[in-house]
Amino acid sequence: MKVLYVVGSNLSRNTSANISHNAYVQGLLENGYQVDIVMASSSWGQDDASLPAWKEATYFTYNSVTFIERLKIKIKQVFDKEDLRKADISIKAVSSTESSASHVNWKSRIRNIIKKSYYLLFKTSALYSLEGAWLKNASRFKSSTSYDLIISNSSPAASHKLVMDLISKKHISGRRWVQIWEDPWFYDLYGGHSEEVKQEEHQLLKAAKEIFYVSTLTLHYQKIHFKDCAHKMKHIPLPYLKLGKNKPPNNPDQCLFGYFGDYYSKTRNLKPFYEVLVECAASGYIYGDSDLSLKATAAVKVSGRVTLDKLTKLQEQSDVLVHLCNLRGGQIPGKIYHYSATTKPILFILDGTAEEITMIKAYFKKYNRYHFCENRKDAILKTINSFLSGNEDFEKQPVLEFQPRQVISKLLNC
């Protein structure tokens, strides 16, 4: 049994998505598949040795971002509309009304000329601007193997685009093509996509034989948004990789709470949890990137992203792992699946609309693994105090349904 696994990222990069991508590969190998992997090159940063390199798999790596591509991205950032808006505001603040208006108009014209020249010279596609080099280079991939299964995994969505193009060019063939979407594209939580993106996503969905989403809520919404593809949309959970060891819990009065993940204010509201920790003098870690500036205390350590190796050690030291839902939408942060590989209790902070909270809780409650509360200070404080008083179980079992072998087995049998 042979499978082609395609992903437009580099599996050695330390991201939450790549932890799951590696888990899919592990699940395929554990189910007895011979695996070929088409992926992007390592174009920035350093490889993270904590992530596995599968010796049983065959890798086909294609350059993803050239020097020119990186230069293009930098130029685009310089002339970003938000930067222009901020510059205009700054000019108005220090100039008279008449001269400011003239200055802003002149500066706007110059910027618009440069932006138009940039797009004319580089012909950047808004759809795959970051993956253009990889799509071009990886389109050279050819295989005479007749694959039993072809999997394209996003993000990025360019993974699906590549497989569609390779099949149409008859560079590859397979009995079954499956798309795995960890997040939707047009209806992504961050928003701001053009109608062109929606049309492109629709074309990708129509091309696949089967489509899998890792959130039951995302599946629910996507079936509504793309009704003609709803019949081939299904759900599988994210598989987890077991990283690190499970440290025995501390005494309840020394309980340490760990939140590990980004918490940009546009997508997640971490303030209630942070404020409860500070006010009740509980110990905790908050590690992740954000636009907020949370002040560290003697008991609460605050930091940006760290390497996977360091993050694993911090999770080992934590007594309770904290999962925070998004403010809205159907996307489930992948951390909840990876936390579920441990024997540690998980504080599951619910957020979203009343319907979303109900659906999320209904799905995860059946595993008898999580301590639920809504994202309000009173609810969070009540649950944390229950931990500190020793009223909660500190020994839990990993969720077997999220093991790589089990997830891939479910996909194969759908």
Identify the pLDDT of residue 76. Answer: 59
In the predicted structure, residue 339 carries a pLDDT above the cut 90: yes
Q: What percent of the chain lies above the pLDDT cut of 90?
A: 66
Strand partners, 301: 285
Residues 343, 398: Cα–Cα separation, whole Å: 6
Q: How many CB atoms lie within 10 A of CB 372?
A: 17
Identify the pLDDT of residue 50. Answer: 72
Under 8 Å between Cβ of 313 and 244 = yes
In the predicted structure, residue 107 carries a pLDDT above the cut 90: no
- CATH class label, 252-400: alpha beta
Give the pTM.
Answer: 0.82
Residues 388, 390: Cα–Cα separation, whole Å: 5
Q: If you write DSSP's letter for every residue of 335-346 in order, what string do you get?
A: HHHHHTTSSS-E
Residues 280, 253: Cα–Cα separation, whole Å: 12
The residues, any chain, with a CB within 8 Å of residue 251's CB and separated by 6 or more, are none
CB burial class (10 A; 0-12, 13-18, 19+) of residue 195? exposed
Q: If you write DSSP's letter for every residue of 378-395 in order, what string do you get?
A: HHHHHHHHHHHTT-S---
Identify the pLDDT of residue 190. Answer: 76
Per-residue model confidence as pLDDT tens digits over 173-218? 999 999 999 999 999 887 778 899 999 999 999 999 999 999 999 9
Per-residue model confidence as pLDDT tens digits over 153-174? 998 999 999 999 999 999 999 9
Lowest model confidence (mean pLDDT) among 41-55, 275-289, 301-315, 354-368: 41-55
In the predicted structure, residue 306 carries a pLDDT above the cut 80: yes
Q: What percent of the chain lies above the pLDDT cut of 70?
A: 81
Confidence at 337, pLDDT banded by 50, 70, 90: very high
Residues 143, 34: Cα–Cα separation, whole Å: 14
Identify the pLDDT of residue 395. Answer: 81
Tokens of 11: 């599996």
Q: Which has more confidence, 252 or 161?
A: 161
- By DSSP bridging, strand 320-324 and strand 177-181 are unpaired
- Per domain, the residue ranges of the chain are 2-65+130-235, 67-122, 252-400
What's the average model confidence in pLDDT over 88-100?
41
Residues 220, 204: Cα–Cα separation, whole Å: 18
Q: How many CB atoms lie within 10 A of CB 181?
A: 26
Tokens of 193: 């996509």
Q: Which has more confidence, 155 or 92?
A: 155
- What is the chain's Cα-based Rg? 23
**Extended strands (E) in 66-166:** 146-147, 149-154
- CATH class label, 2-65+130-235: alpha beta
At 28, is the secondary structure helix, strand, or coil? helix
Confidence at 10, pLDDT banded by 50, 70, 90: very high
Identify the pLDDT of residue 69. Answer: 56
Which stretch of DSSP H or E encloses residue 179?
strand 177-181
Residues 345, 394: Cα–Cα separation, whole Å: 6
In the predicted structure, residue 220 carries a pLDDT above the cut 90: yes
Q: Does this chain's domain 2-65+130-235 share its CATH topology with 252-400?
A: yes
Identify the pLDDT of residue 193. Answer: 83
